[in-house]
Amino acid sequence: MVLSKTASESDVSVHSTFASRYVRTSLPRFRMPEESIPKDAAYQIINDELMLDGNPRLNLASFVTTWMEPECDKLIMASINKNYVDMDEYPVTTELQNRCVNMIAHLFNAPLEETETAVGVGTVGSSEAIMLAGLAFKRKWQNKRKLEGKPIDKPNIVTGANVQVCWEKFARYFEVELKEVKLSEGYYVMDPKKAVELVDENTICVAAILGSTLNGEFEDVKLLNDLLVEKNKETGWDTPIHVDAASGGFIAPFIYPELEWDFRLPLVKSINVSGHKYGLVYAGIGWAIWRSKDDLPEELIFHINYLGADQPTFTLNFSKGSSQVIAQYYQMIRLGFEGYKGVMENCRDNMIVLREGLEKMGRFNIVSKDDGVPLVAFTLKDHTHFNEFQISDLLRRFGWIVPAYSMPPDAQHITVLRVVIREDFSRTLAERLVADIEKVLHELDVLAARIRMISSSSNVTVLEEVVKSNGEVVTAKKSDLETQREITAVWKKFVLERTKLNDKMNGVC
């Protein structure tokens, strides 16, 4: 859902230079036109507006895949009109989905017999997968509590404060309390010991993150499992673990094969992973995998036959395109284990190039880890004259989208820049980004020096009038803090004006 807004009160029509060859009148912007227009004109109008979008390859904020091979693009276009939910009509697509589920389950070391099929489902993304996994945990907890004659009105999930917003959505939408382990400076993932301390009889699961959105770090699922096993023995509970491997699920098996985070750990009952992140598929595909059939309550599965034969379905939505499922299968058989391993190692190598380039500047502290999702999260050592948000803003002039954000509680005073290294981010681009960051830092240094010079020479900036009780007016030098606040106000005004300008440009056709 998008909360829409108009670009301006007066600009209510869409105009296009080249479409005027076919269309002489402008189109209403927020109402459907009364008449049809030629297909060439419709294409040209939309294409002209889309030129104002950013370049996906330079969007370093996103984990989502932005490039696939032309052969896969052809498969996507050939299957774009297939509805994934219609399993009787498209049995081969259904079979490819089942193959993907089983491949991923084996990749995550699910305890399957030779002829046993895996339990899982393709989803729109990890958000839907998390909703489905959370519902399964909630229902299993409720069923157990009912048999014990205990109340079922206060379920909770224990997570770190670094979880993605989809966990907050699940908690709010499905009435589950989210008990968050607060972060601290220098430790930006969930502390397993603190997490287990928050577990009580109403905890439906503990959610661990394999690849934090904030700094790419893998949480210690093995330690969490061991601590939770001990607590379960002491209390008689059977609190399980869900692993949110949205980013790390297609990384860890290939470059950290000895890391125990998956179904090798007995309390891990379900895992979600994003095919459209390091699964190397365009946006629109995620996967939810369960350890066994016992971990997915049968009452959550619907059986329908109005599209043909009996079809079991466990999704939040109904209709969905088949193309991303087919694209996932293409990547798995095209690359194989060796190919995925090569891609992930290359991403890690390019991450090291970028990190070393930033370290050589001597201006940043690196807050990401070498082992984890291939990204570089970094923060300024000196915030005296400018901050990470201003760096992010000026980098857009070079086409780079590098997000700046504040850490969650209790590390919200830390502001971070983050660059995600995807398959299409080459070493050349990494070196170019380092050079552009140096240019931005130089520009900010020069501008800060000018502001300091103005501040030191202007009575209006550094002096303030003080009225004594006898009415005498004197001047007093402002403190460093007061001066810095004034400089910050100047920066805020500058950024606000740029934001308004960008908003205005976004409304231009």
> Between residues 192 and 19, which one has the greater pLDDT?
192
Do 455 and 483 meet the contact criterion of CB atoms below 8 Å apart?
Answer: yes
pLDDT of residue 462: 44
DSSP-assigned beta bridge partners for residue 28: 13
Confidence of residue 362 (pLDDT cuts 50, 70, 90): very high
pLDDT above 70 covers a percentage of the chain that reads 83
Strands annotated E in 262-323: 268-274, 286-290, 302-304, 311-313
Q: What is the pLDDT of residues 151-193, one digit of tens each?
A: 999 999 999 999 999 999 999 999 999 999 999 999 999 999 9
pLDDT in tens, 53-88: 889 999 999 999 999 999 999 999 999 999 887 777
Which pairing describes strands 177-181 and 13-14: parallel, antiparallel, or unpaired? unpaired
Residue 425 and residue 77: Cα distance in Å, rounded?
25
Residue 347 has pLDDT above 80, yes or no: yes
Instruction: Retrieve residue 48's tokens.
Output: 């002209």
* pLDDT of 54: 86
Q: State the Cα–Cα distance between residues 335 and 333, nearest whole angstrom.
A: 6
End-to-end Cα, the chain, rounded Å: 23
Nearest-angstrom CA–CA distance, 370 and 494: 36
Bond into 226 cis (ω within 30): no
> In this structure, what token pair is assigned to residue 455?
């501040």
